[in-house]
Amino acid sequence: MQFVSTVAIAFCAMIALPGVAGAVVRIDVDLGAQTMHVASDHGDAFQWRISSGALGHETPRGTYRPTALYPMVYSYKYGNEPMPHSIFFHGQYAIHGTIEVDALGRPASHGCIRLSPDDAAILYSLVSREGALIRISGEPDRAGQSGSAPWEGWAAEPNSTH
């Protein structure tokens, strides 16, 4: 009987809070335009400049869900470069903040999707609360870029939670 009561309470909560139960943040990344459009079921909407993978460091295309969220990650392969507000979506690929804001608007990363620190914090907060669907499409302009091997390493801050 207790199980039936628990199920009934959960069902009523889902009906009473339909916006919360089905909320999701839609993240659309356009690699050609080097932009990210973010829309929340709660009405939040943003358009931000990004940096995606430079030549030889392709950003994967497709549709993904977040696999892990960390308030701070450091890239051990690239001099412990900070990656604040990391939202991992495909293996070691993540959306995260960058201190290299002058590179936003053009391909410049090792495959991750970079945002300004403020934009990354907003996105991290939304995705932490609502979950997300990430869609990456388009073809970046590679004029004048040189390539090298893909990025492999990252390490989460020891006291991080996700």
Per-residue model confidence as pLDDT tens digits over 74-128 = 988 778 899 999 999 999 999 999 999 999 999 999 999 999 999 999 999 999 9
Note whether residue 10 is domain-resident.
Answer: no
Rg (CA), the chain: 18
Question: What's the total number of domains in the chain?
Answer: 1
Domain limits for position 86? 26-156
Query: Which CATH number covers residue 116?
Result: 2.40.440.10
Task: State the DSSP code for 117.
Answer: H
Q: Residue 38 contacts by C-beta under 8 Å, 6 or more apart in sequence?
A: 25, 26, 27, 28, 44, 45, 46, 47, 48, 123, 126
Note whether residue 19 is domain-resident.
Answer: no
At residue 27 the predicted structure's pLDDT band, cuts being 50, 70 and 90, is very high
Higher-confidence residue of 30 and 6: namely 30
Residue 48 predicted with pLDDT over 60? yes
Cβ neighbour number for residue 3 with a 10 Å cutoff: 7
At residue 14 the predicted structure's pLDDT band, cuts being 50, 70 and 90, is very low
Query: Are 107 and 54 spatial neighbours (Cβ–Cβ below 8 Å)?
Result: yes
Higher-confidence residue of 16 and 59: namely 59
